[in-house]
Chain A
Amino acid sequence: MKKSSVDNWDSLEKKWQEKLDSHEEEVPAAIWNQIEKKLDEKKGKAAPFIIHRRQWSWAAVLLISFGIGWWQLSNPDALVDDSKIAHHIQTEANTPVQNLPKTNTPEIGEKISPTNPTIANHTLEVVSHTSHATTVQEARYTPESIPEIDESKSNTNPIILADNRTLEKEKPALLAKEESVELLIDIQPSQANNQEKENSYVPEPSKKRNSLFGRVVKQLRQAIDGEPVDWQTLKQGDPKLENSIHQVVNTYIKTEQVVQRTFQF
Chain B
Amino acid sequence: MAKEKEESVQISRRTTRSSATAYNNNGIESAKPNVSHTPTLDDLVFGQEPISLDDLLSSFPGRRVQILELLRLLGTINSSMPPLFIYGSASTGKTSIVLQIFRRLSRPFVYTSCLSCYSPRILFESILNQLLLHKKNAVNGYSSAKRCEKPSDFVNLLREALTNVIDSLKANLGKTSTTKLKGQVNGRMIYLIFDKFELVREWDKSSSILSFLFGLCDILKMAEVGVIFISNNSLDTYHSNTGYVEPIPVHFPEYTEDDLRQIFMRNQANRKLYSSFLDVVLRPFCRITRRVDELSTAFSMLFKKYCEPLNDLGVVPNEEMKRRLFSHLQPHVAPSLNERFRIASQPSLDCEVNQETRRKGSARKSGASGDLDEIDFHMSTSAKYLLISAFLASRNPATLDASLFDSTGGSDSRKRKRKASEKSIEQKEAAEQELLMKGPGTFSLERLLAIFQCITSVAEDLLGEEEEGNDKLGVELGSNTLMSDVLLQLTSLCNSNFIIKGGSCPLEGSTRYRSTVSEDLSLKVARSVKFPLSKYLYRR
Query: Real complex partners, A and B?
Result: no
B-side residues, CB < 8 A to A, are: none
- Give residues in A with beta carbon < 8 Å to B: none
